[in-house]
Amino acid sequence: MKSLKIISLLALAILTNFSYSSTPESSGQTTQEITPVALHGQLAIENGSLVNSSGKKVQLKGMSLFWSQWQPQFYNRETVENLVEGWNIQVVRAAMAIEHNGYLEHPEREKKKVKEVIEAAIDLGIYVIVDWHDHHAEDHLPQAKQFFSEIAEEYGHYPNLIYETYNEPLEVSWSKVLKPYHEQIIASIRKHDPDNIIVLGTPTWSQRVDLAAEDPVEGNNLAYTLHFYAGTHRQELRNIAESAIAKGLPLFVTEFGTTDANGDGPVYEQETAEWMDFMKRHKLSWANWSVADKDESSAAFIPGTTPAAISEKDNMSTSGRLIWSHLRQ
């Protein structure tokens, strides 16, 4: 189990004086000189921050796939490869649907999609968030335990894995409902994977990180989910996040949008820029919602875009072009 992580540490030692970058070629594509996992190796949480294997703070940037049952065409290597080469992502989020004709009804089908994304991320040297994309996960505890145990056993020896145990809880108690749920999922993961990062969903659509800061879960390499949509969540939510950070709570923005919270409406460029500044200042890693060609503003692509064409600017939505520019910086 530890051998691959040791290899990553050795690679990091060799590459310490280099940086992960992309160089424009005449074709307009990019060539990655060093992969994110080769550069950063085994991630950890130290003193409230995400750090790499040398203890340096890290801010990962990337994209989240859409609900797996509704946009299955993007759950493959071609998508991940083009996001790496054309978008410069360091992390991809596989948002495995649980309800609404998802994993609960079709476990093998949905799990297969996630595994394709995991294996592509490992091959391409980026990090991958395995997301239990649910709003009622406390009602599906046995299924979640089984799924995460299986994924940890099969892939937990790779430093690429990041587990997200609960996408967006609703307005439920942190201490009485969510914390006990997370503790059981963590135990299922840690039986097979002792050290990869686990990100824990927080109350009210993963916004009330301040409540988790009052009663954090015990354990190593745990982070807490912060979600926002720039048109709906502004300084008030940043203040909540600031208060949690001040108490030492490590945050990970596993999902955010440039639009209103319903995923549609205008694209709020100025408000998105304010959030980008906030995340940069606090070294908060992020994944943008979403890799989809759905006819809504938060989708990165216009309807009909295929995985092969996601790096063509003509196929990017207004939101897609905005996020693409941030990733390419």
pLDDT digits (tens, 9 = 90+) for 197-233: 999 999 999 999 999 999 999 999 999 999 999 999 9
Q: Which residues of the chain have pLDDT under 70?
A: 1-32
Give the DSSP per-residue string, 218-282: PSSSEEEEEEEETTT--HHHHHHHHHHHHTT--EEEEEEESS-TTS-S---HHHHHHHHHHHHHT
pLDDT for 11: 45
Note whether 279 and 272 are within 8 A (CB).
no
Tokens at residue 190, please? 């840690």
Task: Name residues whose C-beta falls within 8 Å of residue 162's C-beta, 6 or more positions apart in sequence.
Answer: 43, 91, 127, 128, 129, 130, 196, 197, 198, 199, 252
pLDDT for 27: 34
- The catalytically annotated residue of 110, 164, 255, 271 is 255
Looking at residue 313, the DSSP 8-state letter turns out to be G
pLDDT for 9: 44
- The catalytically annotated residue of 168, 236, 296, 312 is 168
Tokens at residue 27, please? 């074709």
- The answer to whether the predicted template modeling score (pTM) of the entire model surpasses 0.95 is no
Distances in Å between the alpha carbon of 125 and those of 175, 183, 263? 36, 29, 30
What are the structural domains, with CATH classification, of the chain? 3-328 (3.20.20.80)
pLDDT for 116: 98
pLDDT for 314: 98
Question: Does the active-site annotation cover 99?
Answer: no
Tokens at residue 207, please? 């916004």
Tokens at residue 199, please? 């990100």
Question: Does the active-site annotation cover 81?
Answer: no
Tens digit of each residue's pLDDT (9 = 90 or more) over 271-288: 999 999 999 999 999 999
